[in-house]
Amino acid sequence: MGARFIRSIGEMRRRRADHAALVQSAEPAWDIMLDIYACALERIDLSVTAVGIAAGIAPATAQRWIKKLAALGVIERLADPRDRRRKLVRLSPAALAAMHHWQTEARAILEQIVRREEPS
């Protein structure tokens, strides 16, 4: 897809700024939010411990970012109903709605690029 594709990635990242509920911060936060969002789409419960593993970051880094994101109201921590020792995380309703909207925009951008790049 070449340069247009690379530029579209930048455009998708910039589109995050259009959504107040999405954190504009370091990439570990975005990686965590993307993973929690993907799990929400798949209806998978995600534990605090699994966040770091899934996002490919160290457990201590994941814990720090989960704490920050929770303080900002982006994610919610809740007890696992099957195991009270375990904590689950999910996006707040506002962040979930913003992620849905961002995904729609990102998909539209990628579809436009693919259509332009397809041979005639």
Q: Residue 113 belongs to what domain range? A: 25-117
By three-state DSSP, how is residue 95 classified?
helix
Place of tokens 């209806």: 43
Domain count, the chain: 1
What number is the average pLDDT over the span 46-69?
A: 87
65, part of any domain = yes
pLDDT band at 13; cut points 50, 70, 90 = low
Mean pLDDT over 50-56 rounds to 82
- C-alpha to C-alpha distance for 18 and 11, rounded to whole angstroms: 11
Assess contact for 21 and 92: CB atoms under 8 A. yes
Q: Give the model confidence (pLDDT) of 26-50 as tens digits.
A: 578 888 888 888 888 889 899 988 9
pLDDT tier for residue 4 given thresholds of 50, 70 and 90 = low
pTM of the model: 0.75
CATH of the domain at 60: 1.10.10.10
Of the ranges 11-15, 17-21, 104-108, the best mean pLDDT one: 104-108
